Each structure stands twice: as structure tokens, then as C-alpha cells.
Amino acid sequence: MSQLFDYDKQREAESAAKVRALEALLIEKGVIGSDSVDTVLAHFETVAGPFNGAKIVARAWIDADFKTRLLTDTPSAIAELNLAQGMDGAEGEHMLAVANSSEVHNLIICTLCSCYPWPILGLPPYWYKDPVFRARGVREPRAVLKEFGVPISPETRVDVWDSSAQIRWFVVPERPANSEHLSEAQLAALVTPESMMGVALVEMPAA
């Protein structure tokens, strides 16, 4: 992550400590039970999370017809993969996908900071909610992407999509070069939440 957002690591650690302290207090006071917390965490570890998005992206990489359907009718294409149990609720509705290519790079933000597609991307990172990222993502997306390690050539158009309650966007990143020998499951393992937000590229692992 860029130096601009390095300070968020400390803030995220501080926020995590506060959350743990609050959780312990609520459990101690009997407001919630530890099993309730475990149930929520298990949901995002096994049902709703970035592995859903990774499966969708990997299928789009190996199946051109599926990719076309995904970009034209995203909810129907997602339904084909039987991810319905992880796609229920408001956060999984009104999905739309956009695809990166050599001609265009897509960046997803949420200026209202309340419309993150959890079933596809998992829990949002702290920096995604930061007002600095949200504002600069709109104003100077190329500079932000460069700071995240994604320099965009002048010939490539940058499109910024703002998620809302009406539309929740995610990116189909470009398939990495020299990955033709990988299976669909192996391809899915390369996909990260950041690549589906547009702030990272998908790369082959080092030999």
C-alpha cells in the first residue's frame, strides 16, 4: 500500500483493538454471546466473502459467454454459479460488474461509504472507508492507483464507479499472462478483493 495510506494501518490496528474491547465488554454484560460473534465471523469465512467474487471472476476468465452474461445481466450470471446462499440480503442485491482491459481500467469507490458488496468482496478494509481515499478516488484516480502500485498508461481510460444502494459495483480484473495452464480453481486462488475493487492487478505467483 502507498505511503499515503500507511497511516491507515495504525488506525486500523487501533480500531481493531477497540472492537475487541467492546466485544469483550458486551459479552461480559450479557448483551451478546460469544457464539453470536462466532456465527457472524463463520458466515463471512464460509458463506459470504471474497471467495465468491473470485469464483465469479475465474469463471469469466475461462468462459467468454459467461463473461458476456456477467457484464450484461450480473445477477442472473451470478445465480448460475449457485452462490445464492451467500448472496442474500441487501448487500448482495443490485450487483453490476465491469471488466478491465488494455483499453480501460475500472476503480470502485463508495462516496456514501455504506454500499459495499460484502457477499462478493468480504469485509471492507479500513482505508476503503477513509474520506481521503473516497475523495481522491473521484478527483484523481490515476494518482491514487499509482500510489497503490497500479500505474495506468495515458492510453488507458480510467472509469470510476460509485457504489450505492441502487447499484453495487465490482471489477472483473484482467487475467494474468501465462496462466493458460491453470485450472479454474487455481485461477480463483489468484483473485484478491483489492483486484475486484480495481486497486490491484492479478499476478501470477513467483516461481
Residue positions annotated with a catalytic role: 110, 113-115
Pairing mode of beta strands 104-109, 157-162: parallel
Is the C-alpha dihedral spanning 186, 75, 103, 163 positive or negative? negative
Q: What is the DSSP letter of 163?
A: -
Main-chain dihedrals φ then ψ at residue 58, nearest 5 degrees: -60, -40
- Beta-carbon contacts of 72 under 8 Å, excluding residues fewer than 6 positions away, are none
